[in-house]
Chain A
Amino acid sequence: MVVSTEVAAARAKAATEAILADLKTAPRGVVVDSPPGAGKSTLVVRAAAELADAGERVIVIAQTNEQVDDLAVRLAVAHPEMEIGRLSAQAYARPERLMPHENVRHETNPADLEERPAVIGTAAKWATVSDAGKWPWAIVDEAYQMRSDLLLRVAGLFAKALFVGDPGQLDPFSTVETQRWTGLSWDPMSSAVEVMLAHNADVVPVHALPVSWRLPASAAPVVSRAFYPFTPFTSATDAGERKLRWTAASLARTPADDALELAAEAGWALYQLPHRHTLRTDREAVAACAELAARALRRGGVAESENGAASVTPERIAIGTAHRDQAAAVRAALASLGVSGVTVDTANRLQGREFELVIVLHPLSGRQDATAFHLETGRLCVLTSRHRQACVVVAREGIPELLDRHPSVEPVHLNVPVKFPDGWEAHQSLLAHLSQFAIRA
């Protein structure tokens, strides 16, 4: 079994080496598509260090302050000797986790960080920097979540760039609806990578990371097939290498226990409630999500992995929803069960995070219609690819019928590459797999 991990590690290493080699020769830059948990941040840290070692000053552009601080910590830990700059806004309060790292200095003016080989900041902050063309290199993190109009504002800062991101996650969005730019290669509403590649496809090589370190062997093929059909990836671990055990037996066994047992064994469970059209904050489904989390905690889960065994504490469990009011309802339900510490959030907020056990309130559960929002591939992909051990999906029956009633009818536009898989197809593919692990509530 360990052999497979070694093989996977070797494949991941070869992919990384190829990317770093391309960085030396690519005239404009490199794109790296990273499936969930494939070591994107590790690559960013590694590439930043390599570029800095080669004497190239580099800026790192991430999307949120949270991401910037995470990267700063990782870079500081991996390279304690490196002088790192953290570009920040006036109101920035240095977080606790960055305090011990004295090699990270934060400033609001990039001129004060000029000498540092690596400077990290959010795209929004970099967009306010006016001295164009100062840096030979940039690393753009989460580049698929960045809108191309933001890239337009920062692209003058660097000569070449490494774009890293997950093409399967949620697309950037706008508060206005217009088709004015649909089909233009510089559509400001599409992602930074799409626009950059539309103009530079012949000179910018695209790589894909081949191994997911997060997803277990039970999940990687399913997620890969449903959401990344053209850039397949595998799990770093073999079947059986990751194990979820429940240490406490249940006295009165409930369907929730069955679902948890099945999830521990197979990596997936579909907890099915009877068919019904409901409000968004479907009480029964919300209660089921909370009950599953509470039950999992009471059953004393232990997660065994290549890193050893650890008990599944509330911090290691997440509940994912499509809407904020659903998340709020689940939080309230958890509070009434006396459970605290479990992460409950929407797909948007769960992007980039990792847990042992994830409970998902299916975006289409109880709905009468399947709108583009609820069908969005990225939303389902985020929700079902956050776990290291197991994923339990809570849904009302009737989703396949709902999908059949709402075939994909998105209009096709000239010069817009058709996205594949579309949400409809991805939903079908995932449901087909989940239906093997259905437990009736």
Chain B
Amino acid sequence: MTMLTSLARALAAERGRAELIRTVRHVHLSPRPLVFIPLELAGEANGPLAALVGDDPEKPHLLTISEPRNRTQRFAWAADLAAIVLPYIDSFADADIGEDEAYQDAPQLLVPNPGGLGFTRLLGRSTRFRRTQGEYAVPESVPLLGRWLTFFAERSEVPASSLILSMTDALTAHWATGQSAMEDGHLAALLAWIDPPAGMTGAEAALAAEDPGKWPPAGPATHPDFDNDVLEGRVRAVRSAADAGDEGGLNRAQAGFAAALRSQLEPTWSLMWQGVELLRGLREADYLGKRWERDRWSFSGHVRRLADDGAPQARRDNAVRAAQRLSSLERDQQFIDVQAAFEDPLVMAEQRMSGEAFAGSAVEVLADRTDDTGKRTVPRPWVTIATADGVLIEVGKKVKVVRATGTRQDAIVRIVEPGDEAGAERGVGTTAVTVELTSGMGRKKTPEPGGVPAVGEFLIATTLTGDFQPSPKWPEKEETPWTHGGPPPEYVPNDEDAGEAWS
């Protein structure tokens, strides 16, 4: 937690209402997202019990399994889910596109919390390897659903990818509440802080949201009281009706079972759409356009992959693939860190408080300074910035200087003269940092007009430079060195894949 977030939390606690900690929205929101709220059976790892799913706030689809431990019913449930999710996905892939094109838009899944992401990942893992013929065959849509859910789950690891979002994560990234991070995991309490009902403070509303009768958990775990007092009876009723062969009784019992689960899911359904509306109220950051474009490309690529050979994603990455993926995730993260800071003053403020950026007025400018040690003489003006920020940037470090106009120039820190502590406390800029500008001045000996800041101009300098980093070279999979176990055998999907390491 940054110092700024800590402050925002303290303010939220004092004022009884969540504080915005971002000025723009840092996630992309689809105009037509698919909300997916899964529930699982207590004590059964990834044993689905029910789900409320749909892309229309008015028309949620309820899917339930009255015998959650019955594997046949479980995969029939997965097929029901596929019958909703796959047409939704297909509706974005209806155009004819070439190999080097991407679809105009991409699907977006919204789950309530990180638990929902984990459920999606595990459900994808348990369905993508299923056979459609022979023993224990499942409908063809089930392994296809698994491949899609796995795709979404894998994209959720990519920084700033918005193909699947967890609502609590998306909300806490933009608002700080007066409760603990753990309490923020409860969607109802979190939304109570952000958007309390009229006449209540966020703190009061959050307290009211602790009533599981009114606001049941947003899944995937159910409330233990519901399990003991309601669910158990309903499951027994279904079972005894089935055992008795009483068709009318079975229908009634199943309807009761479904109604019980609907009561647990519907409050979360409305909260999810409330969250969507709140997030839509924030303007989307510009850099997300580029990120969403990557999501669209990734989506289009997966559609093509499924059309080509359709093999399920391997259970694990090989050594080269793992290293490549980590490197790509790290470069993505760096890109996001930089873009977020440049587009959102509150993110830049966090940088400044951490000592990795500083802001202040230019107090001295040596605009005519040049460097003639190279082949040709180049302008290398020195600009001294007086700042009240605590500067932890060392001499020799590369920084980006953000001008009052918003343009950014490269620079190198040359001198850092720390000021006295008393001055810093009074809030006057006492640390003097001299930077040497190295770009944005044209190609001539003297800088172009406006290429050098004037005395008095307000400048921000940050170590977040975001310089392009090419993808590093990796060995071919067939050339995996002995240190990493040598070349891996070719991956062929087989029945073993569906098993778990401990089973």
Q: Which residues of A contact B (CB under 8 A)?
A: 28, 127-128, 130, 132, 148-149, 151-153, 155-156, 161, 174-176, 178, 180-181, 184-189, 192, 195-196, 198-200, 324-325, 328, 331-332, 335-336, 414-415
Contact = CB atoms under 8 A, between A and B. Distances in A.
A199 B485 contact: yes
A178 B327 CA distance: 12
B70 interface: no
Contacts of A153: 323, 472-475
A335 B325 CA distance: 45
B132 interface: no
Residue of B316, B479, B481 most packed against chain A (CB within 10 A): B481
B390 A325 contact: yes
Sort A-B residue pairs by CB-CB distance and give the 6 closest, nearest first.
Answer: A155-B481, A149-B323, A186-B319, A199-B485, A196-B483, A188-B323
A336 B483 contact: no
Given A153-B472, A153-B474, A175-B330, A28 B482 contact: yes
A441 B287 CA distance: 52
Nearest to A180: B157
Given A127-B472, A153-B472, A328-B392, A187 B322 contact: yes
A161 B355 CA distance: 40
Contact of A181 (B320, B322, B483): B322
18 contacts: A127-B472, A132-B475, A153-B323, A155-B481, A155-B483, A176-B157, A176-B326, A176-B329, A180-B157, A184-B322, A186-B323, A186-B485, A188-B323, A195-B484, A199-B486, A324-B355, A328-B355, A328-B390
Nearest to A331: B418
Interface in B459-477: 472-475
A324 B323 CA distance: 29
Contacts of B420: 336
B320 A324 contact: no
Contacts of B480: 152
A152 B481 contact: yes
Contacts of B501: 414-415
Interface of B: 157, 159, 316-320, 322-323, 325-327, 329-330, 333-334, 354-355, 390, 392, 418, 420-421, 472-475, 479-486, 501-502
Contacts of A324: 355, 392
Contacts of B334: 175
A428 to B, nearest CB: 27
Contacts of A195: 483-484
Contact of B317 (A128, A180, A189, A336): A180
Nearest to B334: A175
B421 A192 contact: no
A175 B421 CA distance: 32
B170 to A, nearest CB: 17
B333 A185 contact: no
Nearest to A279: B3
Nearest to A28: B482
Contacts of A148: 323, 483-484
A226 B107 CA distance: 53
B482 A127 contact: no
A151 B474 CA distance: 11
B333 A152 contact: no
A185 B486 CA distance: 12
A161 B322 CA distance: 23
Nearest to A158: B481
A174 B325 CA distance: 13
Given A176-B330, A178-B157, A325-B355, A127 B484 contact: no
A335 B430 CA distance: 15
Given A181-B317, A200-B483, A152 B473 contact: no
Nearest to B319: A186
A438 B45 CA distance: 50
Contact of A178 (B329, B418, B472, B473): B329
Contacts of B475: 132, 152-153, 155-156
Nearest to B332: A176
Contacts of A152: 319-320, 323, 474-475, 480-481, 483-484
A154 B205 CA distance: 57
Given A149-B322, A178-B157, 15 more contacts: A127-B473, A148-B323, A149-B326, A152-B319, A152-B481, A153-B472, A155-B482, A175-B330, A181-B317, A184-B317, A195-B483, A199-B482, A328-B390, A331-B418, A336-B421
A89 to B, nearest CB: 14
Nearest to B157: A178
A155 B484 contact: yes
Contacts of B479: 132, 156
A189 B157 CA distance: 15
Contacts of A180: 157, 317, 322, 325
Contacts of B322: 149, 180-181, 184, 186-188
Contacts of A28: 482
Contacts of B484: 148, 151-152, 155, 186, 195-196, 199
B463 to A, nearest CB: 12
B125 to A, nearest CB: 12
Nearest to A176: B329
Nearest to B501: A414
Contacts of B481: 152, 155-156
A151 to B, nearest CB: 6
Contacts of A186: 318-319, 322-323, 484-485
A174 B328 CA distance: 12
Contacts of A155: 475, 481-484
A152 B330 CA distance: 17
Contact of B473 (A128, A175, A328, A414): A128
Contacts of A200: 482-483
A7 to B, nearest CB: 37
B483 A192 contact: yes
A329 to B, nearest CB: 9
Contacts of B325: 180
A101 B225 CA distance: 77
A388 B1 CA distance: 37
Contacts of B159: 176
A341 to B, nearest CB: 16
A128 B486 CA distance: 21
Nearest to A329: B390
Nearest to B474: A153
Nearest to B327: A149
A161 B480 CA distance: 16
Contact of A414 (B329, B330, B472, B502): B502
B432 to A, nearest CB: 14
Nearest to B326: A188
Residue of B317, B326, B330, B355 most packed against chain A (CB within 10 A): B326
A156 B478 CA distance: 12
A189 B326 contact: yes
A151 B330 contact: no
Contacts of B473: 127-128, 130, 153
A148 B480 CA distance: 12
Contacts of A187: 322
Contacts of A174: 326, 330
A224 B390 CA distance: 38
A178 B114 CA distance: 13
A96 B320 CA distance: 39
Nearest to B424: A332
A339 to B, nearest CB: 14
A291 to B, nearest CB: 16
B274 to A, nearest CB: 29
A186 B323 CA distance: 9
A148 B326 CA distance: 11
Contacts of A331: 418
A162 B472 CA distance: 25
Residue of A132, A153, A196, A335 most packed against chain B (CB within 10 A): A153
